[in-house]
Chains A and B, each alone.
Chain A
Amino acid sequence: MEAIVQQFFNLEIMQRVWPLLLRGLGTTAYLCMLVIPLGLAGGLAVALASVSKRRALVWGAVVLVDLFRAAPPLVLLILLYSGLPFAGINLSPTVAVSLAFFLNTSSYYGEIYRAGIDSVGRGQWEAARSTGLGAAATIVYVVLPQAVRNVLPDLISNTIEVVKLTSIASVVSFPELLYSADMARSLTFNSSPVVLAAVIYILVLWPLVRLVSRLERRVAAH
């Protein structure tokens, strides 16, 4: 018992590494603010392509989505970060992480938006177009607001996954929360910093997890 407390819940070590972890949390937040909007925008583009009337666009979107949903994000990240330099292209960790996340999360967000757009009845399109709205205006003012509302739990749920996923950036030495904690672990020979990081992740994400649970139940009740 004593050993477990020493190894995992050493308050003195936690206190010492706190500033380092706080900086890591800041970097994680910065990364999230970079990759979540990018993914949301990319996903929207993918979804619009997949509901368009051009077959080439539709097929292109399906192939891209399935390809990047099949490749684990860590594989994508390592391929970009360690593979591209052999072709003379050196990406900084930030760019490599952003690009890998963009490709991966756009596919996931894209599928969610598409499900949302599909859930808006055909009649809505026709009614909007017949009142004289253009195709773009129909999408922006009629379809998307309802689509987003219908899949809001999935969008939030996927965003939680993206925040969690930022932890893989530690593998390419991007100094986010897990990287900082793991650094601290190897310096102190003690796992308390990683426990502290786990607690921080849980505290930050727990309210969102609860929110998704409630939203999902509400949608299921309908």
Chain B
Amino acid sequence: MAVDQKLNIELGKQGVFVTTIQELYNWGRRSSVWPMQFGLACCAIEMIATTMARYDLARFGAEVFRPSPRQADLMIISGTVTKKMAPQVVRLYNQMAEPRYVIAMGACAISGGPFKQGYNVLKGIDRYIPVDVHIPGCPPRPEALIQAFMTLQKKIDEQPLTGEGRPRHLDAEARGEFPVPEQGAHDLEPTSNKGVWPIPITIR
């Protein structure tokens, strides 16, 4: 329940600041999303460029890349996820504390990209962990990553604190851990987490 904007401005002129808990809480959360220092392939170079002076991700409160998953809020899957690396990615995600978000950056992370039909590349990380924002591109430009970041901020802003659609850390029944796939004799086992990724129905 937001405060009427005109009334808010009028009250502001009188030196009164009116807000809701939800707005204040989400404003705090979205303004200090700390990504994990974690790069997988060439997209990581673009991610690094995004944090540097020219593109300056610090403007969005995300300049602190944390080297530990325990301190990070955001996982940017920047690059090809091989089947050898996928269990480690899921394990790192499991180790992150709530609230946590995932951006899948680039063609490889969202679908396997040019390596989709290969034997060793996962066809998209969303088969194992929930992804909040997908960015296409090979690699996406820093502007695209910033766009994804702003999309994520908007998503955080709109999350209600109670009821349906609340963040997982406010939901006592939400699942915190995602099963780590095993490296089997021919492929990962299971090949996808059906709870996270029910096979999409294609309509032709």
Q: Do A and B bind each other?
A: no
